[in-house]
Structure 1
């Protein structure tokens, strides 16, 4: 999996930073977490495979996290998309999407937009796919807000194609059977077992997305042992009181979550506009005191999970 942070600004954009949106790309499909204004432009700049966008996960209904949906969905429609798009989010997201799709007159939609509203303060699995699952927990913000975690299920072991050639395993269904864990009998009567050609199962990767939120235990739970944590880091130490009042996190608090949860990688994002390119270094220094290897996001940064 690979994550691209599309926008890193909090509340309003700046000349250098756009609004919230994070892309998570798997081999066969693409997820989008939040869709702030201008997201579709940054998707183009990121050279994202928009045709493979399958699901949009919305954390909450503040404008800087949803006002990009009208433009993105309309562009997908104008590009003759036919595959459904799934949208998950807190209560109210269905009404917003309904407005987006019905307000423009004489617009015919070529694809279905299937919206799933999450119950208030919902904890549980929202998507259970054969290859992965997506879980959610409520976060601590001024509006109902959900954080998300994507976990790939264990991957099949690597198939040794060279060894298969040596053993005379033909190209075709026999190799697929071995990869699936089934023994096969060749034309000459020899039986080939999966252990002869397939390595041990590989652990899948995991990704957690926590924004907007104050310092809270559910963020830690979502981030526990995760491969990549993206966590809002709106303020520095100087904004601690504001973070408390507005239910945001300081970068030190976000780094504390990352360290306590033993996240393997931590990306700080969602910075207040008060921090210009000089003062942002102060935030970075504060975060590194807690989590030395933190990654300071900038728009369009790509991180391998």
Structure 2
């Protein structure tokens, strides 16, 4: 599981930071990529990476401001030409369905794959046997959602040597035991899986928030997260400006991470008023409150190891 930043700026494209797009790479877990927001030129950013658009399975839109959605129609269109034939599901606030429909219909764009668009409300918006995704409203000028991605706990490592000692030969039985199935052998003895599996592997939690002021829902979504991705449009001391524009400062993002008990914080949505020489200062500001803080850059990747 890896987070890959395709765009990390605020408001409009800048030379050092494109507008918002974040890829959650789940290649080992499900052979897929989940995208969070798709600002202008997201597909151009992808061209400079190893990410394959045909691998994109789900797209989660935080809110409908242009710097988070203007790249979506182009990406959906190009995916057809890049070998994508599997279904894509787009989740987002009310209005995302109309935005996509109008963009594709007026441009007479034909998709060669099924597209499902789900307009969300608060709560669990997706769940299968591997992951669940929870959405909650944040505090922005328009409806803006944060997303909490929870990986479900995995069975422990199969203790193959112990199974062989018990007279079980490698083969299909190993897979059944790994999946938690009890097996009856030819001699009538029963192999209980919990005796032949290592400790259960705890699932990981990633929280990706849309634009927001400091709010309680951000803390709830980030509770005990392995990684929190939080906007920090402004530096500390600019709380009044951040509030006026419905954004957060470095200190406010760090306070969310601290109160939520996160393991790691990564700042994003950085205003172009701060150049490369200022970025370390922004990180240091957040570290005053939450030491394990990093700052995003376009094409930066963060691995989220198993617990």
- TM-score exceeds 0.5: yes
Match of 1:61 among 48, 59, 64: 64
Within a 5 Å distance, the mapping from 1:162-173 to structure 2 comes to 162-173=161-172
Tell me whether 55-64 or 32-41 shows the greater mean CA deviation.
32-41
Deviation at 1:240, TM superposition (A): 2.1
Match of 1:72 among 75, 85, 94: 75
Tell me the residue number matched to 2:271: 272
Deviation at 1:267, TM superposition (A): 0.5
* Shift in alpha-carbon separation, 1:186–1:44, aligned structure 2, 3 A: farther
**Distance between the aligned counterparts of 2:6 and 2:84, measured in 1?**
22
**Distance between the aligned counterparts of 2:277 and 2:216, measured in 1?**
32
> Scaled by the length of structure 2, what TM-score is found?
0.93
Deviation at 1:211, TM superposition (A): 2.0
SS state of the match for residue 133, structure 1? strand
Tell me the residue number matched to 2:5: 5
Tell me whether 193-202 or 72-81 shows the greater mean CA deviation.
193-202
**Distance between the aligned counterparts of 1:232 and 1:289, measured in 2?**
17
Q: Give the conservation status (yes or no) of the 8 Å contact 2:279–2:295.
A: no
**Distance between the aligned counterparts of 2:83 and 2:275, measured in 1?**
40
Q: Give the conservation status (yes or no) of the 8 Å contact 1:58–1:90.
A: yes
* Shift in alpha-carbon separation, 1:160–1:43, aligned structure 2, 3 A: farther
1:89 aligns with 2:92: yes
Match of 2:116 among 114, 117, 127: 114
1:235 aligns with 2:234: yes
1:21-72 CA-to-partner distances (Å, cap 9, x unmatched) read 1111222121100001121122232311432211000000001000111221
> Scaled by the length of structure 1, what TM-score is found?
0.94
SS state of the match for residue 73, structure 1? helix
Identify unmatched segments of 5+ residues in structure 1.
none
Q: Give the conservation status (yes or no) of the 8 Å contact 1:80–1:110.
A: no
**Distance between the aligned counterparts of 2:278 and 2:92, measured in 1?**
33
Q: Give the conservation status (yes or no) of the 8 Å contact 2:54–2:85.
A: no
SS state of the match for residue 9, structure 1? coil
1:181-238 CA-to-partner distances (Å, cap 9, x unmatched) read 2222334555432133212322110110112001111101100111110000000024
Deviation at 1:157, TM superposition (A): 1.3
Tell me the residue number matched to 2:38: 35
